[in-house]
Structure 1
Amino acid sequence: MINFLPELYENELFYSVIARYRTKCGMVSGRALIEDLFGRYIVITSSNFPLYIKDFIRNLPPSSKIAEKEIIEKHTTFRFYTSFLSGEKTKLIYQTMEDGRNGSKLNIEQRLGFGGSKVRQLSYLRYCPVCYQEDLETLGESYWRTNHQIIGVFYCSKHHVLLKESSVLSTGTGIDFICADERVCNAELLEDKYPCTIKSLNLKYTHNAEVLLNGNFPRKELSYIIDYYIDRLRERRLASKNGSLYMKDLQERFMHFYPKQYLEMMQSSVDPDSPSNWLRLFVRHNNRNRSPLRHLLFLQFLGVEIDDLFENKKVIGKKSVQVQYNPTFDIQKRRKKWLQLIAENPNANRSQLKEKGKGLHTWIYRYDRDWYNKVTPKAALGKKKSAVIDWDKRDEECLRLAKEAVEIILHREGKPIRITPSSIRNTLGLGSWFHNKKLVRTQRYLKEVKEDIDEFRIRKIKWAIDEIIENNGVLTPYKVQLYAGFGGSNKVIRKLILIELDRM
């Protein structure tokens, strides 16, 4: 059991509390620290999504009033990352962090949308140098703040200075509990080279991110959120009345609102020429993962406050439009003409009738489809099912044919061709069914008779030698090689030719 726990500062990351506890206790062993805190050894792989919080609470002194809910909701990034998830998914992630059940860092990250997303988590803990200095002056120590670890946040919302990245890992198997002290932090400000536009945009983003982090909004289904976006786009004339998106205009407006440099910083560059860029897919109904970073970017683009999305009660989204056709012809007359067409073409199927009475068919099919289906003959039945194949008999016949084909190949005039299953089949002019496994004896024969590459080369060389002799040519290794079609530089072929010439 833990004898004491340092005071939890406002907005302090749970990881930071453990790090300060370790320092105050003077614990060197990381394993001993974990066993002391959780009553057993567990592997810690994330500062943002700690697991087994319930075990930690059980291990606190009896007088402690700290509860799992306080740790998860006020000292982790849980609320930020689950804000745009359904209630069911949010509950699953909460339970996983609480008791580790069905839990792993990987499972949590997949449910949060990190799996397959190009928006990556931060690798190292960050801090504000001004906050760090103020902490030392007022508290005598500093700590890691939860809001500084939110993805996409570049500025401290309090001091409007750039956050600094420490050397302390925030995720991965190499996590250790290190305090925000002089070993890894300092009060030197980073030079801010970003344009004022980017700073202003990011401070607004940071404000919205902290609203999510500190709020407790009702969870909405993804389909509701997408419909909400479509409604707002319709108001801005970036979608039609029925909810169809004017994607080209939307992309142009979005890329005009956000500088290219800023979108790159936010891991959200848009390629307007790509049909699968993230913005195109973001405002469509699909099950793709969506990072809260991109939700906030889109809401900021729409000029919508966070509260409006979550407190809104009704959405419309995309509306289905039904076109009511009004027939301009007398239905009885059209029916009579169609029946007459059928009578004049008693053997015609539907496709043929459609071709013969194009306009008439279109009208009847659109306005009187039930009647059309009753009176119009269906397509003729397919061919009669083939009789069951006697594979033994076919095997015997194919084996005979294969043997004949081999003889044909061996005694054909002209340059020899290699004996292979394919050359046998091509000689017979048969289809790919000739290689069917049910033709057992035929397939065995094809394997046995298949000509080894060197055997074929020798047969080809012998043929070339015979041809040159018959034509009273000068017999040399080089001429044999060229006549056989092997080219003049193949040394392997040259050796085979010399062997055959020595045997003469």
Structure 2
Amino acid sequence: MIVNFPKPYDDEIFYSVVARYFEYYRVGGHKKILKALFLSDTISATLDFPSGLKDFCCNIKNGGFSEEYIINNHTLFPYYSRFIDSKKKTRILDSMNNKSGNIHTRVGINAGVFSPLQLPRFCRKCYNEDIKSLGESYFRRAHQIPSVPICLKHNVFLEKLYIGVNFLNKHYFIPPSVIENYPKLEASINDNKLVKEISQRACNLLKLETAHIFNNQAYLYNRKIKELGFLKNQKSIDLASLYEAFENHFSPQVLLTFKSQVDINDPSCWLKSIVRKHRKSFDPIRHILIENFVLSFNNKSVTTKVKSKKWPCLNPVCEHYNKKVISKYKSSIDKKTNREIKYIECSCGYGYTESYLENKGVTFRRVKIYGNLWEEKLNLCISKGISIRKTAQILNCDSKTIKLFLDKKCSNSKISITMIEKKKQWLNLIKQNSKMSITELRKLNPALYSFIYHRDSNWLTKQKYPINKPQPKLRIDWGKRDSDFLLQIKESINYLKITGYNKRKNKTLLISLIGKQAIIEKNYSKLPLTASFLEKVTESKEDYRIRRLKSAQMKLIKNNIDVNRWRLLREARIREDYLTSKIEKVVEDLLNGKELKDKNLLSA
């Protein structure tokens, strides 16, 4: 139980609270302190989303701490939670309370533009004020939001801590006191009001009253942008106008500061994705940018009314011919000409496309499908013996179109006759080769098979073919394999002996040396000789430490240095934490000058 854990300051990040405790009670190393606080020495020093909070709260006796209180008031969870659905939120909270990872992946930070901060950021002016008023300083939560570059209180850009790689440890919480010895640079002042306004809106997300508002509408911004009047037709957004207005509202400096530059020619541009159906997560700062744009934009400047329009049916044999009764259509953009093309279809089945040619100033229409009603009239005219030209006049089309339909009809009848003949050929092929499967028959006549398959695959597969029994698999002689692996492992041990390898010789090392790791690990029970030999010759961690102690004793004696406990342990690189009763006895025997037989697999 921890009794004297420091009380967190207002808006202090949880990382800073633990770091101050590290500084107060630096006894036994940071791993021991982690073990005392979180009941685990593998907890990482994470700025935004700490884990292991459940054990931490149970271990703090002075009260005032709960998982919910820490998460809502001293982490960055509220900043992201507004844009996370309830299922993901539950998983993230569970990961923070327990000791599981993947939090940044679940939030969407790893795939975003702002990477999670590895080291804290600070404001020099805030630090000096804290020293005067509190006697110590702390890392503020608002300063650790990756997308917020300034201190809102003093309107200056934040400074980053830079620690050498040799001193950087993922389990070590860096205390705020290191700022005192940090180079004192003149703080850069922010002179952009919009940067401060956006940063203020981002920091407001840390407040509980705004943090848990989530709107799960897939087309949330799509609807809002359309309401502003950025419409190309009844359904599509006018991206050209939207990009122009967006870039006029936000200067390039602001967009660069928040890593949110836009490019209309970029197909994966974030602005296009956020105003369409949301298929991925976006950084909260980009939600704030689009919300700021929507709120501050003048609706009246681009609002246009789209009048409802109807189109006529162009089928001369339909009762709706030349009457504007069709109100629904499908719209698409031609990639080559960037022209809008509408597809209009009547209930009679007659469909056509319509597009406006700006260079000619005319509306162009093209028939795409004639429909059953039109084709029935064509068949009626042909059966009555009406000429092709007269039929074309009746059906309001070109005479070449009538010829194409007649040729298609004749070719379909020819295909049906040919299909019957091809099926007979295939049945004869089955009779002549009654023991062959469909795959073997296909190899005999691939052209015939391909013709029938592409026109009537169901008929082809329904025919009766003999079932080929699969060939039995070859049995593996595991006894021989066991002997071979045993011989190879012994050879690898000799190789280690020749090369003078002195590190720990465990099971994984010996198996990997022969290049058969997967086979041996998956079939360990089938290899008794190999398994028993490995159990016999491999070193445990305890045996390895004993061997190091023996080597350390010999080295000290060789160099004429007194053998005492602390020298022996330091030379053997063994910490007090790892001393077991067996190792303690070995140390005592070595200090008394006794000779020991260590378990060394090189002599096996």
Q: For residues 333 and 205 of structure 1, what CA distance do their matches in structure 2 show?
A: 57
Q: Structure 1, unaligned stretches of length 5 or more?
A: 306-319, 347-353, 362-375, 399-437, 439-504
Q: For residues 26 and 142 of structure 2, what CA distance do their matches in structure 1 show?
A: 28
Counterparts of 1:54-453 in structure 2, within 5 Å, are 54-61=54-61, 63-100=62-99, 103-104=100-101, 107-167=102-162, 174-183=170-179, 188=184, 190-192=186-188, 196=191, 199-217=192-210, 218-223=212-217, 226-227=219-220, 229-239=221-231, 242=234, 244-303=236-295, 331=318, 338-344=375-381, 383=419, 387=426
Q: CA offset at residue 135 of structure 1?
A: 0.6
Asked whether the equivalents of residues 167 and 184 of structure 1 are also in contact (C-alpha less than 8 Å), the reply is no
Structure 2 CA distance for partners of 1:57 and 1:191, relative to 1, 3 Å: closer
Q: For residues 148 and 14 of structure 1, what CA distance do their matches in structure 2 show?
A: 13
Q: For residues 375 and 245 of structure 2, what CA distance do their matches in structure 1 show?
A: 53
Q: Deviations over 1:362-394 (max 9, x none)?
A: xxxxxxxxxxxxxx99x7787457526757789
Q: For residues 239 and 211 of structure 1, what CA distance do their matches in structure 2 show?
A: 32
- The aligned counterpart of 1:369 is none
Q: CA offset at residue 330 of structure 1?
A: 7.1
Q: CA offset at residue 122 of structure 1?
A: 2.8
Asked whether the equivalents of residues 73 and 79 of structure 1 are also in contact (C-alpha less than 8 Å), the reply is yes
Q: Deviations over 1:462-484 (max 9, x none)?
A: xxxxxxxxxxxxxxxxxxxxxxx
Q: For residues 394 and 236 of structure 1, what CA distance do their matches in structure 2 show?
A: 63
Q: Deviations over 1:440-459 (max 9, x none)?
A: xxxxxxxxxxxxxxxxxxxx
**Number of residues of Structure 1 aligned to a counterpart in Structure 2:** 352
Q: For residues 291 and 355 of structure 1, what CA distance do their matches in structure 2 show?
A: 61
Q: For residues 180 and 60 of structure 2, what CA distance do their matches in structure 1 show?
A: 29
Helix, strand or coil at the partner of 1:209? helix
Equivalent position amino acid for 1:154 in 2: P
Asked whether the equivalents of residues 43 and 52 of structure 2 are also in contact (C-alpha less than 8 Å), the reply is no
Q: For residues 64 and 269 of structure 1, what CA distance do their matches in structure 2 show?
A: 47
Structure 2 CA distance for partners of 1:338 and 1:239, relative to 1, 3 Å: closer
Equivalent position amino acid for 1:2 in 2: I
Q: For residues 5 and 122 of structure 2, what CA distance do their matches in structure 1 show?
A: 23
Scaled by the length of structure 2, the TM-score of the pair is 0.51
Q: For residues 444 and 189 of structure 2, what CA distance do their matches in structure 1 show?
A: 84
Q: CA offset at residue 6 of structure 1?
A: 0.3
Higher strand share: 2
Q: CA offset at residue 34 of structure 1?
A: 1.2
Q: Structure 2, unaligned stretches of length 5 or more?
A: 298-305, 322-371, 384-390, 399-408, 447-467, 469-604
Q: For residues 25 and 263 of structure 1, what CA distance do their matches in structure 2 show?
A: 44
Identical columns (%): 26
Q: For residues 442 and 224 of structure 2, what CA distance do their matches in structure 1 show?
A: 70
Q: For residues 394 and 209 of structure 1, what CA distance do their matches in structure 2 show?
A: 67
Asked whether the equivalents of residues 168 and 178 of structure 1 are also in contact (C-alpha less than 8 Å), the reply is no
The question of 1:39 aligning with 2:39 is answered: yes
Asked whether the equivalents of residues 8 and 17 of structure 1 are also in contact (C-alpha less than 8 Å), the reply is yes
- The aligned counterpart of 1:364 is none
Asked whether the equivalents of residues 231 and 243 of structure 1 are also in contact (C-alpha less than 8 Å), the reply is no
Q: CA offset at residue 192 of structure 1?
A: 2.4
Scaled by the length of structure 1, the TM-score of the pair is 0.60
Structure 2 CA distance for partners of 1:336 and 1:182, relative to 1, 3 Å: closer
Q: Which has the higher contact order (CA 8 A, sep 6+)?
A: 1
Equivalent position amino acid for 1:49 in 2: F
Asked whether the equivalents of residues 2 and 37 of structure 1 are also in contact (C-alpha less than 8 Å), the reply is yes
Q: For residues 297 and 86 of structure 1, what CA distance do their matches in structure 2 show?
A: 20
Equivalent position amino acid for 1:268 in 2: S
Asked whether the equivalents of residues 132 and 142 of structure 1 are also in contact (C-alpha less than 8 Å), the reply is yes
- The aligned counterpart of 1:15 is 15
Q: CA offset at residue 395 of structure 1?
A: 7.4
Q: For residues 333 and 183 of structure 1, what CA distance do their matches in structure 2 show?
A: 82
Deviates more, 1:154-163 or 1:237-246: 237-246
Helix, strand or coil at the partner of 2:109? coil
Structure 2 CA distance for partners of 1:6 and 1:211, relative to 1, 3 Å: same
Helix, strand or coil at the partner of 1:177? coil
Q: Deviations over 1:175-219 (max 9, x none)?
A: 52111114566594534276x3xx312211121011101133344
Asked whether the equivalents of residues 129 and 185 of structure 1 are also in contact (C-alpha less than 8 Å), the reply is no
Helix, strand or coil at the partner of 2:88? helix
Deviates more, 1:160-169 or 1:330-339: 330-339
Q: For residues 127 and 253 of structure 2, what CA distance do their matches in structure 1 show?
A: 29
Q: Deviations over 1:202-244 (max 9, x none)?
A: 21112101110113334424435x42x2343234332458452
Equivalent position amino acid for 2:40 in 1: R
Helix, strand or coil at the partner of 1:130? helix
Asked whether the equivalents of residues 234 and 241 of structure 1 are also in contact (C-alpha less than 8 Å), the reply is no
What is the Cα-based RMSD across aligned positions, in Å?
4.0
Asked whether the equivalents of residues 6 and 20 of structure 2 are also in contact (C-alpha less than 8 Å), the reply is yes
Asked whether the equivalents of residues 34 and 41 of structure 1 are also in contact (C-alpha less than 8 Å), the reply is yes
Asked whether the equivalents of residues 378 and 395 of structure 2 are also in contact (C-alpha less than 8 Å), the reply is no
Q: Deviations over 1:82-101 (max 9, x none)?
A: 2212222222212221224x
